[in-house]
C-alpha cells in the first residue's frame, strides 16, 4: 500500500490544479443546489477509479471536464444511491443509540453513563458503516449501475480477502483527514473545500489499491463471469 500518493496524485499531474479547482467548485455548489455537485464529483471519481485500476503506476487519469457535466451526473447517481441507503440505515441506528443512551441515563439517574454508552455504540457503528460503504461504492462506480445483490456479495468477498487492510487504511485516512480539514478550516473556512476534494480523491486511490490486492488474492473482478451469468439469468 502507498499512503502518501493518494493525497498527491490529483494535483501532481500537469492540470492537477485545474482538476482541484473544478472539483472544489462542484462541491461548493452543493451549498446552492443541494446534492447535485456531490453527485458530479462521484461521477468524476468513477472515471478516475476506472483509469487508476488500469495504470500500473496508479497516477494517470482523465482530467475533470466541465463539458461532461451530464455524464458525470449520470454516472455518479449509482454510488450516490449507495451512500444514501447506507447513511439512512446508519442514521436510524445512531438515533436509536442516542435514545437508548438517554433512557439508560434517566433510569440510572446518571446522564453521563447514558452518553458514554451511546458513544461506545456509535463509534464502531460508524466505522463498520464506512467499511461497508467504500467497497459497495466502488462496485457501483466500476459496474456503472446499481446491482445491490452483486455489490453486497462483492463487499463480503472483499472483507474476506482484504478486510484487515481496509480497516487499517480507513483508520489511517481518518487520522490524516482530521488535521488536513482543521488546517483548511483555519484558512477562513474556504480552504476546507479543496481539502475535502483531495480527501475524497484519496479515498478513491486507496480503494483501487485495495481492489488490486483483492484481485491478487484471487478475488473476482467487478463485472466478472459470476455477475455476467446472473445478469443473463434475470
Q: List pLDDT tens digits, range 110-130.
A: 778 778 887 888 888 888 888
Rounded-to-integer distance, Cα 70 and Cα 43, Å: 9
Q: pTM to 2 decimals?
A: 0.85
DSSP characters over 140-206: HHHHTS--HHHHHHHHHHHHHHHHHHHHHHHHHHHHHHHHHHHHHHHTTTTTHHHHHHHHHHHHHHH
- Report residue 228's pLDDT band, with 50, 70 and 90 as the boundaries: low
Q: What is the pLDDT of residue 190?
A: 65
Q: What is the pLDDT of residue 186?
A: 77
Rounded-to-integer distance, Cα 186 and Cα 171, Å: 23
Alpha helices in 29-68 (DSSP H): 36-52
Q: Which whole-number Å values give the CA distances from 120 to 88, 116, 124, in the listed order?
A: 20, 6, 7
Q: What is the pLDDT of residue 180?
A: 87
138-192 confidence digits (pLDDT tens): 999 999 888 888 899 999 999 999 999 999 999 999 899 888 888 877 776 667 8
Do the beta carbons of residue 131 and residue 170 sit within 8 Å?
A: yes
Rounded-to-integer distance, Cα 96 and Cα 102, Å: 10
Q: What is the DSSP letter of 33?
A: S
Helix (H) or strand (E) holding 217: none
Rounded-to-integer distance, Cα 36 and Cα 126, Å: 24
Q: Which of 131, 136, 130 is nearest to 222 (CA)?
A: 136
Helix (H) or strand (E) holding 108: helix 69-108
Q: What is the pLDDT of residue 189?
A: 61
- Report residue 94's pLDDT band, with 50, 70 and 90 as the boundaries: confident
pLDDT at 133 exceeding the cut of 60 = yes
25-53 confidence digits (pLDDT tens): 998 888 788 889 999 999 999 999 999 99
Do the beta carbons of residue 210 and residue 166 sit within 8 Å?
A: yes
- Report residue 20's pLDDT band, with 50, 70 and 90 as the boundaries: very high
Q: What is the pLDDT of residue 225?
A: 59
Which residue's C-alpha cell is 483483492? Answer: 214
Q: Which of 129, 130, 143 is nearest to 46 (CA)?
A: 143
Amino acid at each position: 500500500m502507498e499512503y502518501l500518493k493518494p493525497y498527491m496524485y490529483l494535483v501532481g499531474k500537469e492540470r492537477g490544479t485545474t482538476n482541484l479547482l473544478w472539483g472544489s467548485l462542484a462541491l461548493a455548489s452543493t451549498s446552492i443546489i443541494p446534492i447535485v455537485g456531490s453527485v458530479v464529483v462521484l461521477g468524476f471519481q468513477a472515471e478516475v477509479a476506472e483509469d487508476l485500476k488500469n495504470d500500473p503506476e496508479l497516477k494517470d487519469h482523465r482530467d475533470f471536464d466541465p463539458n461532461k457535466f451530464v455524464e458525470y451526473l449520470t454516472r455518479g447517481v449509482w454510488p450516490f444511491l449507495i451512500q444514501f441507503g447506507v447513511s439512512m440505515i446508519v442514521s436510524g441506528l445512531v438515533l436509536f443509540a442516542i435514545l437508548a443512551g438517554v433512557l439508560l441515563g434517566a433510569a440510572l439517574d446518571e446522564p453521563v453513563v447514558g452518553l458514554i454508552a451511546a458513544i461506545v455504540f456509535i463509534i464502531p457503528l460508524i466505522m463498520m458503516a464506512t467499511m461497508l460503504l467504500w467497497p459497495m461504492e466502488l462496485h457501483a462506480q466500476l459496474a456503472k449501475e446499481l446491482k445491490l445483490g452483486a455489490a453486497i456479495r462483492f463487499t463480503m468477498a472483499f472483507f474476506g480477502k482484504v478486510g484487515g487492510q481496509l480497516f487499517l487504511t480507513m483508520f489511517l485516512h481518518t487520522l490524516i483527514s482530521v488535521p488536513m480539514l482543521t488546517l483548511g478550516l483555519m484558512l477562513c473556512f474556504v480552504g476546507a473545500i479543496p481539502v475535502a476534494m483531495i480527501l475524497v480523491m484519496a479515498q478513491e486511490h486507496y480503494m483501487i489499491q485495495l481492489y488490486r490486492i483483492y484481485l491478487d488474492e484471487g478475488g473476482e473482478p467487478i463485472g466478472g463471469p459470476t455477475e455476467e451469468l446472473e445478469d443473463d439469468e434475470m
